């Protein structure tokens, strides 16, 4: 009997990326990051997807890879056109591994785009001319480091500044010594009381800050509601908005939500989340983890749907062999090639 290869054929790999600068938030400092890749090949066409495991939710790239490797025989029996079915099926089996789910879902979207020879934004019915500007993120560092990073980011019309480690005032003063562009502040759950958060928000509002993301630890919605009542700045949820099911509970506490493919499990889930968020009256932002062009470009294809973008994760790594979405004076420029439009660098 002739040996027949499975179609679709799936493979998964973990890639370790070197960061341009050590990356510090309230959660950790790191000099490298690992992300998970899914590769699918069917009908002579390839698709690629990437997911960044989020340590806060206990995710790990190698464990995600093992889980997906176990699913390979079953995945090889599902047509790559059946994206919805595959997504539900993978979600059932790798519960909690959102990066794994995102990698598979993105690979199938990339595959479909290549197979149909259309870019992903077109497959999704979106307008390439409607992409927002992206902010560029400044991790927590010394005053001198912050000033250097802000100078290096001078092409970006908006900055996202990480706070919550006790050097907030010095950080913003360092930023303002270099630039007066609008600043968005991401606290990553770092302020521990409504009183502290409230004082910080008032101080930030006088210094050209547009909004504040996840000021208090996730799960303290009564506190966020109290902060929200007196807040002079809009407040966005990130850690408090892991998936679509969380959104109704955030009404009255937050003004906007940060949607990430890695956090919710891919393009399909992110579309659901963005639409639900808009229906509930939230402003919407697309964010990302530190990851390569594959994951960031996938998110960028959805960006015509949202009010704000923070899609700079690939700009923070030093050794990406591929390129996809470009940034020109802060604006996201989507590639016109099929699928995600990823090409070798």
State the minimum distance, in angstroms, from the CB of residue 26 to Mg ion.
Answer: 10
State the minimum distance, in angstroms, from the CB of residue 118 to Mg ion.
Answer: 32
Identify the residue among 34, 59, 189, 238 touching Mg ion (CB under 5 A). 238
Provide the 8-state DSSP code for 339.
B
8 Å CB contact between 257 and 250: yes
- In whole angstroms, how far apart are CA 121 and each of 11, 236, 294, 301, 338? 25, 26, 14, 5, 10
**Binding positions for Mg ion, 211-230, rule CB under 5 A:** 213
Stretch that binds Mg ion, among 143-151, 236-244, 273-281, 325-333 (CB under 5 A): 236-244
- In whole angstroms, how far apart are CA 72 and each of 60, 66, 75, 93, 290? 19, 10, 5, 12, 27
The site map against Mg ion for 170-209 (x = CB under 5 A) is ----------------x-----------------------
Sheet holding 159-162, edge to edge: 136-138, 159-162, 183-186, 209-213, 235-237, 256-260, 283-287, 308-309
Q: How many CA atoms lie within 13 A of 172 on its CB side?
A: 21
Stretch that binds Mg ion, among 49-57, 234-242, 277-285, 319-327 (CB under 5 A): 234-242
Give 37 or 211: the residue with its C-beta nearer to Mg ion: 211
Token pair listed for 206: 């006088």
8 Å CB contact between 292 and 320: yes
Q: Spell out the alpha helix ranges (H) of the chain.
A: 61-75, 83-93, 98-116, 120-123, 143-152, 168-178, 194-205, 221-230, 261-264, 267-279, 293-302
Give 237 or 300: the residue with its C-beta nearer to Mg ion: 237
Token pair listed for 290: 């530190």
State the minimum distance, in angstroms, from the CB of residue 137 to Mg ion.
Answer: 9
State the minimum distance, in angstroms, from the CB of residue 289 to Mg ion.
Answer: 10
Stretch that binds Mg ion, among 47-55, 221-229, 231-239, 267-275 (CB under 5 A): 231-239
State the minimum distance, in angstroms, from the CB of residue 242 to Mg ion.
Answer: 12
State the minimum distance, in angstroms, from the CB of residue 220 to Mg ion.
Answer: 16
Give 164 or 339: the residue with its C-beta nearer to Mg ion: 164
Give 42 or 285: the residue with its C-beta nearer to Mg ion: 285
State the minimum distance, in angstroms, from the CB of residue 127 to Mg ion.
Answer: 27
Name the residue with the smallest CB distance to Mg ion: 238
8 Å CB contact between 327 and 134: yes
**Binding positions for Mg ion, 40-99, rule CB under 5 A:** none
Contacting positions for Mg ion (CB under 5 A): 186, 213, 238
């Amino acid at each position: 009997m002739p040996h027949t290869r499975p179609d679709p054929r799936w493979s998964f790999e973990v890639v370790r990326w070197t960061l341009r600068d050590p990356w510090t938030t309230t959660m950790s400092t790191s000099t490298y990051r690992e992300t998970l890749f899914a590769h699918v090949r069917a009908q002579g066409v390839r698709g690629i997807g990437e997911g960044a495991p989020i340590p806060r939710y206990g995710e790990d790239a190698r464990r995600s890879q093992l889980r997906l490797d176990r699913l390979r025989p079953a995945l090889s029996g599902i047509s790559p056109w059946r994206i919805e079915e595959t997504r539900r099926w993978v979600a059932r089996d790798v519960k909690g591994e959102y990066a794994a789910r995102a990698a598979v879902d993105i690979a199938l979207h990339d595959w479909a785009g290549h197979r149909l020879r259309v870019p992903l934004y077109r497959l999704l019915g979106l307008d390439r001319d409607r992409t927002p500007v992206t902010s560029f993120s400044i991790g927590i560092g010394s005053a001198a480091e912050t000033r250097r990073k802000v100078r290096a980011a001078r092409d970006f019309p908006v900055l996202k500044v990480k706070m919550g480690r006790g050097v907030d005032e010095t950080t913003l003063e360092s930023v303002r010594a270099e630039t007066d562009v609008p600043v968005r502040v991401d606290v990553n759950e770092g302020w521990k009381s409504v009183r502290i958060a409230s004082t910080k928000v008032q101080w930030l509002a006088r210094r050209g800050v547009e909004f504040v993301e996840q000021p208090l630890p996730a799960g303290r919605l009564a506190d966020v509601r109290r902060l929200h009542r007196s807040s002079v700045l809009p407040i966005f949820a990130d850690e408090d908005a892991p998936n679509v099911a969380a959104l109704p509970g955030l009404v009255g506490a937050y003004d906007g939500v940060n949607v990430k493919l890695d956090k919710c499990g891919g393009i399909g889930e992110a579309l659901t989340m963005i639409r639900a968020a808009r229906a509930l009256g939230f402003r919407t932002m697309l964010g990302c983890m530190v990851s390569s062009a594959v994951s960031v470009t996938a998110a960028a294809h959805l960006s015509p749907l949202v009010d704000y973008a923070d899609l700079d994760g690939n700009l923070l790594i030093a050794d990406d062999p591929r390129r996809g979405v470009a940034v020109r004076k802060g604006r996201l420029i989507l590639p016109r090639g099929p699928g995600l439009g990823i090409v070798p660098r």
